Amino acid sequence: MTSEQLYCFAMVQVLLVFLLASFRLRATDQNSKALPLLQGAMGAELFSWLFYFWPLGLTLVLSLSLSALNMSLLTAFSFRRAGRPVPWQWIIPVGAALACTYSYFSYLQQQNISLHLMTLFTFLLIGPSFWCFRYLKPTPTLSDLMMAAVFLVWLLICLLRSIMLLLAPDWLLSGLLISQSFWPAVSAGYCIFALTGYMEETQRKFKAEALHDALTGLLNRRGLVHAIQGNLNYLQRQPHSSALFMIDLDHFKRINDKIGHDGGDEVLIAVAAVLQQQIRQSDVLARYGGEEFIVFLPQTDKDSAQLAAERLLLAVRSMQLPQISSLQQLTISLGIAVFDADFDFDCQLRRADHALYQAKARGRDRIEFATDCP
């Protein structure tokens, strides 16, 4: 077995490992549609190296055609991962043209022409792949940016190879430096970062689910503490007061009893949306549990907290929900704790909760300010 055959055999093994690893991934939405394209690209490259084991006649044509298929599927994968429709009407003709011309000139051993053609078609296929991961993909992960970097390196290698063909063709064609040094890194690079990109998105999804309420999409208590941590650190360095609202939806049990839990969930979702619309961008809204909500308002004194609370009361009173319009007017009660930079957050939660209890005990649909920490 020659050194080049050993090299091909090693590439087949590496790609097989990545291909098998890809079947352990679980993806959703458009990502689930992209994953088979990635697996197809890996499989095409794997068999391309396998057929290149004996690069003679038909096996050479099959190897180079599968290499073209690999690039075409990678382009389709990139568009899917960016959440964009795949332009098959463009990818298929370009991929077919690459397979035919690259195979034809390589079979005729016109290596200069075949390599220049590969550079052209690489820019037509891998160029858009770079653009998808670098500029089109929403909320890109670090692995997505690394994926774009791999595609950029791929483009630069092909461009430099074509330049070297013009300047020093004998040196380039007599050595295997590029194929043996760079292409394994490119292949391993896009496989690794494509797979880790899925893993990072899964971690991001689990983190979001851990910090958000499943029903309303608002932060939960853990998410509230996580979101305001930066504000808390800032407040401890600056002499600004802040406010904490504890909000309870009045007579919610009566609503659940009349229209059922599904109807009650719809009411909670609607109230959460109205509260979110009324607060500032710097404020933090969370669902505390059941029919209770919390709002954290940084840099807010007592007078500003009073105005903000009255705005929330009026907004909820003004809600028109067909499912409860004949039962009762929708209202909320608020307990407010205003505190300075030197504070205990758990104490402020207890203060706001105690003030909320006072508001409910004094007739609901009202505001009460907390006094000392209970």
59's CB contacts (< 8 A; 6+ apart) are: 51, 52, 53
CA–CA distance, 104 with 100 (Å, rounded to integer): 6
Query: What pairs with residue 297 in β-bridges?
Result: 243
CA–CA distance, 294 with 292 (Å, rounded to integer): 7
- pLDDT, tens digit (0-9, with 9 covering 90-100), for 170-213: 665 544 455 556 778 899 999 999 999 988 988 888 888 888 99
Q: What is the pLDDT of residue 31?
A: 62
Side-chain half-sphere exposure of 343, counting CA atoms within 13 A: 28
CA–CA distance, 10 with 105 (Å, rounded to integer): 27
Structure tokens at 221: 């208590």
Q: What is the pLDDT of residue 206?
A: 84
CA–CA distance, 91 with 93 (Å, rounded to integer): 6
CA–CA distance, 353 with 337 (Å, rounded to integer): 9
Number of helices and strands (H, E) in the chain?
Answer: 13, 5
What φ, ψ does residue 103 adopt, rounded to 5°? -65, -40
Residue with tokens 């903000």: 308
Residues of the chain short of pLDDT 50, as ranges, are 29-30, 174-176
Q: How many beta carbons lie within 10 A of that of residue 120, not counting itself? A: 15
Dihedral sign of CA atoms 291, 292, 298, 302 in order:
positive
CA dist 23 to 39, 110, 144, 288, 344, Å?
8, 39, 19, 39, 49
CA–CA distance, 15 with 188 (Å, rounded to integer): 8
270's CB contacts (< 8 A; 6+ apart) are: 319, 321
CA–CA distance, 12 with 16 (Å, rounded to integer): 6
Q: What is the pLDDT of residue 30?
A: 47
Q: What is the pLDDT of residue 173?
A: 52
Structure tokens at 191: 């496989």
pTM of the model: 0.73
3-state secondary structure of 287: strand
Q: What letters, b where the CB count within 10 A reaches 16 and e where it falls short, cover 352-371? A: bbbbbbbbbeeeebbbbbbe
3-state secondary structure of 322: coil
Structure tokens at 206: 């689990």
- In the sheet that holds 242-249, the strands lie side by side as 284-289, 292-297, 242-249, 332-339, 367-369
